[in-house]
């Protein structure tokens, strides 16, 4: 976080010890510089916003960093970022605007006004629902979080960024910013807002390792639906494919055997059945089950 903030304020300065609110350090060496660094006490909410243009005010900075929170919607700017992220980070070429819209723009959550005890603080959402948190540097969209904001938690659905910003560990920065959002909403009087939900955790996936680097972190047990500290899961996950802390005797050291192959559904059933495929403007969207079923059977 400090490295990113320094870049925004000071640019590509070679000295990593430059303080956020100091000079470039060219005339101060040794103890003076060390003292400036030592005196800074980390405060998550203060530090996560420190480099934003709205916080810096009249202070001259090398770059203009802006963060905005808006209800989820499709724009060509957002899709361009998503397309770049999928291709350059995940090496996926089959990226479509329709898939992006279905995956990260449409939501089944209906908007519900947030009842703050006092006036709604700046920067916090007005409604519970699905949001895009946009990060811009010098006017260009460089990162975006997809969030579901509910009365009890902020759910981190997805995060994307331009590859040129990879050196700043953007995934960790986004997680800390989302934790800060939870803290700010809780401090604004929403007593039930206490958690950041990071979604799925795959123990063998390197790209998900960062989810386990925050403390305390809890995982939901698949058998009794209780939350247990991640530390209790880790030794079991190192040895097993399936894990339950509540019932360790049910852990599976090898993948489960393949279930019986799915049976064909009769055409007379498929011809009349419909499946819910989404929601739009409080309207339920359905499609014939026949086409969806055939695609699934063909592995599409």
> Where do the structural domains in the chain lie, given as residue ranges?
2-44, 65-199, 267-297
pLDDT of residue 20: 52
Query: Left if phi > 0, otherwise alpha if psi is -120 to 50, otherwise beta: which for 281?
Result: left
pLDDT of residue 23: 42
pLDDT of residue 26: 43
Helix, strand, or coil (residue 167): helix
Helix, strand, or coil (residue 7): helix
Q: Residues 6 or more apart from 243 whose CB is under 8 A from it? A: 222, 233, 236, 237, 251
Query: Left if phi > 0, otherwise alpha if psi is -120 to 50, otherwise beta: which for 91?
Result: left
Nearest C-alpha neighbor of 160 from the set 139, 187, 141, 186: 141
Residues 186 and 145: their CA atoms lie apart, in Å, by 20
Beta bridge partners of 144: 134, 160
Q: What is the pLDDT of residues 184-201, one digit of tens each?
A: 999 999 999 999 999 888
Are 40 and 19 contacting, i.e. CB atoms less than 8 angstroms apart? yes
Class for the domain spanning 65-199: alpha beta
Residues 120 and 114: their CA atoms lie apart, in Å, by 9
Residues 275 and 227: their CA atoms lie apart, in Å, by 32
pLDDT of residue 24: 45
For residue 275, give both structure tokens: 């499946």
pLDDT of residue 144: 98
Low-confidence ranges of the chain (pLDDT < 50): 21-30, 300
For residue 237, give both structure tokens: 């996950």
Q: What separation, in Å, do the N-terminal and C-terminal C-alpha atoms of the chain show?
A: 41
Q: What is the DSSP string of 247-263?
A: -GGG-BSSPPPPPPPPP
The predicted model scores a pTM of 0.75
């Amino acid at each position: 976080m400090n490295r990113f903030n320094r870049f925004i304020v000071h640019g590509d300065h070679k000295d990593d010890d430059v303080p956020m609110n100091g000079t470039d350090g060219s005339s101060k060496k040794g103890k003076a510089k060390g003292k400036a660094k030592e005196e800074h006490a980390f405060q998550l909410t203060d530090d996560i916003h420190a480099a934003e243009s709205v916080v810096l005010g009249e202070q001259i900075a090398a770059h203009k960093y802006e963060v905005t929170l808006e209800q989820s919607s499709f724009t060509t700017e957002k899709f361009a970022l998503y397309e770049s992220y999928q291709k350059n980070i995940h090496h996926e070429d089959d990226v479509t605007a329709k898939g992006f819209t279905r995956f990260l723009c449409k939501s089944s959550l209906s908007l519900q006004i947030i009842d703050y005890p006092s006036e709604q603080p700046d920067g916090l959402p007005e409604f519970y629902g699905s949001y895009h948190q946009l990060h811009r540097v010098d006017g260009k969209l460089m990162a975006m979080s997809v969030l579901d904001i509910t009365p009890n938690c902020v759910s981190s659905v997805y995060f994307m960024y331009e590859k040129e910003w990879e050196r700043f560990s953007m995934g960790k920065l986004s997680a800390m910013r989302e934790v800060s959002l939870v803290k700010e909403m809780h401090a604004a009087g929403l007593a039930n807002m206490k958690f950041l939900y990071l979604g799925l955790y795959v123990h063998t996936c390197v790209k998900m390792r960062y989810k386990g680097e925050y403390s305390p972190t809890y995982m939901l047990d698949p058998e009794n639906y209780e939350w247990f500290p991640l530390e209790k899961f880790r030794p079991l996950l190192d040895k097993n494919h399936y894990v339950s802390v509540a019932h360790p005797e049910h852990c599976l050291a090898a993948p489960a055997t393949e279930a019986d192959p799915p049976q064909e559904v009769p055409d007379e059933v498929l011809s009349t059945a419909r499946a819910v495929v989404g929601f739009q403007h409080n309207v339920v969207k359905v499609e014939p089950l026949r086409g969806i079923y055939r695609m699934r059977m063909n592995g599409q």
